[in-house]
Structures are given as C-alpha cells and as structure tokens.
C-alpha cells in the first residue's frame, strides 16, 4: 500500500486510522513502544512516541507473523506449497475472533513454525516463505 497512513486515535482494543482519506478501525497489540496491526492482509508496526497521531507505519515485507497474541486454529498450507500474495496461510483466534494470516507476497512455503492449538505471541513467524 502506498497511500499515506495517519493514526487518528488509539483506544483500549482498536486503533483508528485514516488511509487515503477514509477512516478505518482495526484491532492492535502493543509491546513496549511498538503498536502492531493488520490492515488489508498486511502487517504494520508503528513506533509510538508522544506524537503518535503523526506516527508513520512501517510495513513488514514478507510477513506471515502473528499480529497479536492468539491460538493457531488451522494451518492451511504445507511446506512446498506455492502461494500468491493474499493466500490464507493460517487461521489465528485472537480477541474472540478468527483472523486469516495471509501471504504478504508470492512465494513457496519453506517452513511451518507453529502447530494447531499453539498459543503464539505478536511478531512470531508462523510461516516462512
């Protein structure tokens, strides 16, 4: 995504963003001074400081990592599978919702780093492409 991203407000369980003139509400996780969230199948991180409203998001290329703490419900791929950008790789249950973790780019699955039923933390690489 090349559209400018602006953090408008951060609430207890969601962050309000303005992207390309439209407002979006997404769940997030915070670790120290870093906020992570998934928008449109892509994982973003923001370094938070006193001017969080002007913080810029940094996209994690080739990310197939957990955006928040959760339980791996289902692994949808196996090592050797060829996937395209946007292909669902893993279903993660977090915040009482199911979240599809999507391939961030075209590639071949080289490793599955989790198992069904496993509790994972934000940033944990679930699948390696």
Q: What is the pLDDT of residues 72-101, one digit of tens each?
A: 999 999 999 999 888 889 988 887 788 888
Q: Do 48 and 95 fall within a single domain?
A: no
Residue 120 domain boundaries? 70-128
Q: Do 44 and 88 fall within a single domain?
A: no
Tell me, rounded to whole angstroms, the distance of Cα 82 from its chain centroid.
Answer: 21
List, for residues 15-26, the tens digit of each pLDDT value: 777 777 788 888
User: Does the residue 94 lie in any domain?
Assistant: yes
What band does 52 get if pLDDT is binned at 50, 70 and 90?
very low
* CA-CA-CA-CA dihedral for 97, 103, 109, 115, to nearest 10: -10
Q: Do 48 and 78 fall within a single domain?
A: no
Domains held by the chain: number? 2
Q: What is the pTM of this model?
A: 0.54
Q: What backbone torsions phi and psi does residue 49 show, to the nearest 5 degrees?
A: -140, -165
User: Does the residue 23 lie in any domain?
Assistant: yes
User: Does the residue 65 lie in any domain?
Assistant: no
Query: What CATH number is associated with residue 105?
Result: 2.40.50.100
Q: Do 54 and 79 fall within a single domain?
A: no
Two tokens at 48? Answer: 């938070």
């Amino acid at each position: 995504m090349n559209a400018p991203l602006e953090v408008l407000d951060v609430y207890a369980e969601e962050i309000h963003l303005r992207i390309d003139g439209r407002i979006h509400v997404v769940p997030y996780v915070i670790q120290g001074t870093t906020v992570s969230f998934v928008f449109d199948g892509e994982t973003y991180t923001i370094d938070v400081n006193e001017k969080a409203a002007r913080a810029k998001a940094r996209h994690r290329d080739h990310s197939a990592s957990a955006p928040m703490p959760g339980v791996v419900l289902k692994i949808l791929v196996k090592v050797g599978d060829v996937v395209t950008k946007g292909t669902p790789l893993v279903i993660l249950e977090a915040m009482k919702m199911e979240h599809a973790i999507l391939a961030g780019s075209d590639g071949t699955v080289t490793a599955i780093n989790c198992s069904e039923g496993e509790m994972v933390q934000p940033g944990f690489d679930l699948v390696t492409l």
